[in-house]
Amino acid sequence: MQQAGEQGGAQDVADDAADEGLAVEAEETDAGPAAARRELTRLCLASRTVRPVGEMLRFVVAPDGQVVPDLAAKLPGRGAWVGATRSELALAVKKKAFGRAFRGKGRVDPGLADLVDVLLEKDVFSALSFANKAGQLVTGTTKVAEALQGGAAILVHASEAARDGVTKLDALARRVGEAEGKKIAFVNSLSGVQLDLALGRANVVHAALLAHPTSAGFLARVRRLESWRAG
């Protein structure tokens, strides 16, 4: 009976903390990278809501005491999670949420958000390069048009691509999608220079990726980057 009473008292404390808008330690940080990769949801330090980890970013305290992003959820130590948008990270910093989660051990550098942006972008181009090396990507208007009619799943335009070329390929993609009962994804948030560098080719304006796990990996990462910047 005494043990049951003690457990009930502990639960009451946790409930009181939740009622007051506070988080107990178990909610603020995970138990480490292995546990983090198994979990489906985590508490967001900014919004104080429990959300799918796919919508969030993990942060840990580096050996030098700085709070750093852990996109792959592999860095050692306890991790704290924030919604994967620039605005939510800004809110978490403003609320000094990292200091509370890490019990005052984590220092937040003013350039943390910019570092996240750089790493997310790097992740996008790494995935794009991987899909290219796997033979799942073609460039050039003619080859892209052929790929759209032959099973392409993603259509990429350089952000500065001419409107007429974009319109023609988009229309073709929609016709093919409607005829085959599938949805082709559109990406136009990357510049031609960025595409050139990622693919090791010159003057990349249009590209198509075939249906393949590497292509799906690229799409997931580019959507995360777009959400981070727009959010």
pTM, rounded to two decimals: 0.83
DSSP per position, 48-86: --EEEGGGEEEEEE-TTSBEEEETTS-SSS--EEEESSH
pLDDT value of position 231: 79
| Alpha-carbon gap, residue 63 to 76, rounded angstroms | 10
Q: DSSP label at 116?
A: H
| Measured distance CA(157)–CA(159) in Å, rounded | 6
Residue 17 or residue 144, greater confidence: 144
Tokens encoding 182? 């599938």
The per-residue pLDDT for range 198-214, each reduced to its tens digit, is 999 999 999 999 999 99
**Nearest CA among 168, 131, 129, 133 for reference residue 153:** 131
Q: What is the mean pLDDT of residues 97-104?
A: 93
Which domains, ranges and CATH numbers included, belong to the chain?
2-114 (3.30.1230.10), 124-230 (3.30.1330.30)
11 pLDDT more than 90: no
The pLDDT score that the predictor gives to residue 27 is 80
Residue 228 near residue 116, CB atoms below 8 Å: yes
178-200 pLDDT, tens digit per residue, is 999 999 999 999 999 999 999 99
Q: 100 φ, ψ to 5°?
A: -70, -45
Check residue 17 and give its pLDDT.
Answer: 37
